[in-house]
Amino acid sequence: MKKIVSLAAVLVLAMALLLSGCGNNGEEATPSAAAEATPKTSEAAPADAKADTSLEDVKSAGKLVLGLDDAFPPMGFRDDSNEIVGFDIDLAKEVASRMGVELEVKPIVWDSMLQEVESGKIDVVWNGLSVTEERQEKLNLSKPYMKNTQVIVVQEGSDIKTKADLAGKVVGVQDNSSANQAIEKDEGVKDSFKELRGFETNDLALLDLASGRLDAVVVDVIVAGYYQTQKPDTYVILEENFGEEDFVIGFKKGSDALTAEVQKQLDAMIEDGTFKTISEKWFDRDVSVK
């Protein structure tokens, strides 16, 4: 009986030692040790942002693709030979040349301008592009290079002399243009119109004005001035307007390298007098914003 008890005691002691040994061997896998061995997601390095290859892409392609409304004289329009010419075209050609690439000019529907840039179908919008809140949010923008005013154009002999006289009148404007947005901001005047009629291009609106289908058109002063020069007996520009704004160049959001390079070349052209020479060709004066 004593032998049986002794044997049982030995077995219990052996089991205790065995369990104690397992516990000692498992110290390396304690919860605190396991936690130290597991990477902490909060300390993991963030994924790298997509590299900006905008300038490299343009140089690799060997061309800078410029989107424009090709009925926007004198910034970009078709001459009598149907060639696209203009002040912005001359500036862009010189910038592209200094970058070592060709300039490709691509007419677009102005109302879809943002989508054209965002999709990568064009590299820049360079066509009397005014600064607006939406464009600041959705595009990279250059520094202003020229001032502009949204003016009211009427027919020669019209009884419209001020913004107040637009009450009850049919007014034309280019769709999704800064002129359109300037009108929208002046709600009191806009609400007084009989109708605000949108057009795909400014020239179509001005043709309707000349034919009597509109009472007035709100448009960029540079466009108004061009058409007034062409037809001084048809168009009159009123003194009162819908505000001053800046012209800039638009790029796809995030294309910082291309934006910086174009700005660098444009700044150099202002410094060395090339901008002034091109400006005087189209406006008989230096229009640069320095």
- The pLDDT score that the predictor gives to residue 117 is 96
Rounded Cα distance between 242 and 205, Å, is: 17
- The pLDDT score that the predictor gives to residue 49 is 58
Amino acid, single-letter form, for residue 102: E
* Tens of pLDDT, residue by residue, the chain (290 residues): 444 444 444 444 444 444 444 444 444 444 444 344 443 434 444 444 579 999 999 999 999 999 999 999 999 999 999 999 999 999 999 999 999 999 999 999 998 999 999 999 999 999 999 999 999 999 999 999 999 999 999 999 999 999 999 999 999 999 989 999 999 999 999 999 999 999 999 999 999 999 999 999 999 999 999 999 999 999 999 999 999 999 999 999 999 999 999 999 999 999 999 999 999 999 999 999 87
Q: CATH 3.40.190.10 in the chain, residues?
A: 54-147+246-283, 148-245
Rounded Cα distance between 210 and 192, Å, is: 22
- The pLDDT score that the predictor gives to residue 247 is 96
106: Cβ contacts below 8 Å, ≥ 6 apart: 65, 66, 67, 68, 121, 122
Q: How many CB atoms are closer than 10 A to CB 234? A: 15
Superfamily of domain 148-245: Periplasmic binding protein-like II (3.40.190.10)
| pLDDT tens digits, one per residue of 144-196 | 999 999 999 999 999 999 999 999 999 999 998 999 999 999 999 999 999 99
Tell me how far the alpha carbon of residue 163 is from its chain's centroid. 30
Instruction: Give the pTM.
Output: 0.77
Rounded Cα distance between 263 and 242, Å, is: 29
Rounded Cα distance between 261 and 245, Å, is: 24
Fold exhibited by the domain 54-147+246-283: D-Maltodextrin-Binding Protein; domain 2 (3.40.190)
- The pLDDT score that the predictor gives to residue 290 is 72
The percentage of the chain sitting over the pLDDT mark of 70, rounded to a whole number, equals: 83
